[in-house]
Amino acid sequence: MPLAEIKLAFQRKPAFMPYLPVGYPTLADSIDALEALGKNGADLIEVGIPFSDPLADGPVIQQATHTALENGVTLGSVFDALRELRRRGVAIPLILMGYYNPIFRRGLEAFRRDALAAGADGVIVPDLPPEESGELEQALGGDFPCIRMLAPTTSADRAQKICASAKGFLYLVSVTGVTGARDKVSAGLPEFIARVRGAVPQGLPLCVGFGIASPAQAAEVGRIADGVIVGSACVRALGEAQQPKLAAANLARAFRAALKGIGP
């Protein structure tokens, strides 16, 4: 049951959730790297669905997903990759992350069926605010969550509404901006997290993403959040590595070590 799996994954706090798109640097490398992340310290993984026009992403993820598309990756190959990860014994929740058009084009019912069959536990759609997510959420049903996002620009009223019916966990965007590593953790983050904690139903984990580049930054965020999402830094480390699988394993271990025993 996907929701129950997600809940279990947050028993260890803060949870570490790396992001990688399927197909980068190559399809085979990405599957190896996802496996290495899953077996070396990740509590959940965001598995990226490449899209031609990723407008919430910065240059690193934009370039990586472009390469993945050039490598011929489709939504179908993302599902194949999930199946392969499950076959290799990766048991943690796998959360799909992708823009709406490919999901819509596949058909919402078909997406749910194929995603569940492949072993996905939830989906994050950055260009689908709650106002437009009704159809997808209905198709996904009660147990397969469409993860909601909150931004620093979200008003208290709006946050209240978004939190009220959120499922799985909440994705807090740490900065006003696109994905990509930053030098420093946003100064307003503690206040933002505190504000959301007041609105969120008991027990719904708060995960922070966008801009977290190093284990030290992850630790800083992990002291006040229930989960830490690392995307661009992860993509960059793999893209530069001779052996992506080894780099992924090392990266997961480093972040895991930095986050050990510091949960909120």
Q: What positions carry a catalytic annotation?
A: 46, 57
Options 7-15, 56-64, 232-240, 241-249: segment touching other proteins (CB under 8 A): 56-64
Q: Tell which one of 56, 116, 139, 262 touches other proteins (CB under 8 A).
A: 56
CB-side exposure of 145: number of CA atoms within 13 Å? 21
Beta bridge partners of 150: 172
Quick check: 165 binds other proteins (CB under 8 A)?
Answer: no
Quick check: 132 binds other proteins (CB under 8 A)?
Answer: yes
Q: How many residues does the chain have?
A: 264
Cβ atoms 241, 247 nearer than 8 A:
yes
Quick check: 239 binds other proteins (CB under 8 A)?
Answer: no
Please, which residue, 160 or 243, has the CB nearer to other proteins? 160
Phi and psi dihedrals of 34, rounded to 5? -60, -40
Options 28-36, 126-134, 196-204, 221-229: segment touching other proteins (CB under 8 A): 126-134
DSSP 8-class letter at 131: G
Residue 150 in 3-state DSSP?
strand
Quick check: 134 binds other proteins (CB under 8 A)?
Answer: no
Q: Which residues of 6-37 are buried (b: 16+ CB within 10 A; e: fewer)?
A: bbebbebbbbbbbbbbbbbbebebbbbbbbbb
Quick check: 187 binds other proteins (CB under 8 A)?
Answer: no
Going by DSSP bridges, is the β-strand pair 146-150/122-124 parallel, antiparallel, or unpaired? Answer: parallel
Quick check: 154 binds other proteins (CB under 8 A)?
Answer: yes
H or E stretch including 34? Answer: helix 27-39
Quick check: 167 binds other proteins (CB under 8 A)?
Answer: no
Q: Tell which one of 40, 177, 253, 262 touches other proteins (CB under 8 A).
A: 177
Binding site for other proteins (CB under 8 A): 51-56, 58, 62, 66, 69-70, 74-76, 99-106, 126-129, 131-132, 149-155, 158, 162, 173, 176-178
